Amino acid sequence: MRVERIPEWALTQTVEAQVVALLARTFTTDFGGRSFFQQRHHLRLLAFDGDALVGHIAMLWRAVRLDDRLVTIAGLAEVATDPDRRGEGIAGRLLALAIAEAKASNAAFLTLFGTAGLYAAAGFREVHNRLKWVGMDGARLGDVHHAHARHLMVLPLGAQKWDDAAELDLIGNQF
């Protein structure tokens, strides 16, 4: 198995079509024929077995607000393993690489929305901050939402501690 690190702008049509197919096989969510759910990301980590795409993680970087404090985070999205290849450690390998990417960046935290045990095993913890975000449906902006976070997981990347009591303003959509 080989892993490729591809910036979003460098995705070829061929690779993007493979991502679209993998996401369609992996998720029940309708991605609308896109290689992303609502918004393009910054980086893809892709696992290939020969020419076949068997694993995928999208990464993004953005500024968010924890109360009045502006904080840079990295986020993970569309973590996918070919259903026929689950249990082989593909997602774990990609997750370890994503954590290394985030630690090498200026992000204070690595975040994701998910529930897989893989995340807790890698050091993520679920948080329930009050959350503010812009809804999106079919890659179209919607209303601003306020609610307590569901399935938000956070991994500190340095000495900075996550403030569980702060409102988290994503300054945009969920990822």
- Domain locations in the chain as residue ranges: 2-169
Q: What is the mean pLDDT of the chain?
A: 95
Average of per-residue pLDDT across 82-111: 97
Tens digit of each residue's pLDDT (9 = 90 or more) over 26-38? 999 889 999 998 8
Q: Find out if CATH 3.90.180.10 is the number for domain 2-169.
A: no
Beta-carbon contacts of 94 under 8 Å, excluding residues fewer than 6 positions away, are: 3, 45, 47, 55, 56, 57, 79
pTM, entire model: 0.93
- Alpha-carbon distance of 68 to 164, in angstroms, equals 14
Contact 45, 8 (CB under 8 A): no
Tens digit of each residue's pLDDT (9 = 90 or more) over 63-88? 999 999 999 999 999 999 999 999 99
Burial 133-161 (b: 16+ CB within 10 A, else e): beeeeeeeeeeeeeeebeebbbbebeeee
Q: What is the DSSP string of 10-36?
A: G--HHHHHHHHHHHHHH-SS--TT-SS
Tens digit of each residue's pLDDT (9 = 90 or more) over 151-165? 999 999 999 999 999
